[in-house]
Amino acid sequence: MKITALLVLKCDPRSDGSDPVILANATDVNHFGYFQRVTVRQFIVFVGRTVAKRTPPDQRHSVQHEEYKVHSYNRNGLCVVGFMDDHYPVRSAFSVLNKVIDEYQKSFGDSWRSIQADSTQPWPYLNDALTKFQDPAEADKLLKIQRELDETKIILHKTIDSVLERGEKLDSLVEKSSDLSAASQMFYKQAKKTNQCCTIL
């Protein structure tokens, strides 16, 4: 799972068809060949503008291209576009876009509305987000909780297996237990004998 790029753009729905303006841009193209990186960055900007231009206000879009998905979210003309691989969960992707657009509005307010040309100034938060959200669980708290539950379940299975590996048997534990009355121990032994009979058949 990988995020390749995050872009923040100004999209003016009332404009005469002009391209969206790039307000912030962060890319990680290190997994591409050295001589391909400039072309990939240019392609990201081109596709980012194209998708942002076609995302109506207050809507979210996902576009599949080969093994990548381009997700976009337009909030009243402020649009965030994310380039993720196909394995990145969609819900986590839109959670990332929400966090980025919230942080942008908190940092810059409505000053983006007056910008007319692409910004070349780096926005440190966007680079940090690109790194931090490579793990989808950082963006989606439910996914993080699910992962922790899965890990707990694995630990629980390992714990039961390790008890069995030590050679302890349930029969000997039942005999040694002071928590079980003689009647309960007898019931356990009878039930085990009855079940053995049935499992042989």
Domain ranges of the chain: 3-163
Rounded to the nearest integer, the mean pLDDT of the chain is 78
Q: Is the pTM of this model over 0.95?
A: no
Give CA–CA dist 55/189, Å, rounded.
69
- Bridge partner residues of 73 (DSSP): 60, 80
CB of 90 within 8 A of CB of 62? yes
Q: Pairing between strand 78-85 and 3-10?
A: antiparallel
* Mean pLDDT (whole number) for 84-99: 86
pLDDT of residue 34: 87
pLDDT of residue 161: 56
Give CA–CA dist 29/166, Å, rounded.
50
3-163 CATH fold? Beta-Lactamase (3.30.450)
Percent of the chain exceeding pLDDT 70 equals: 67
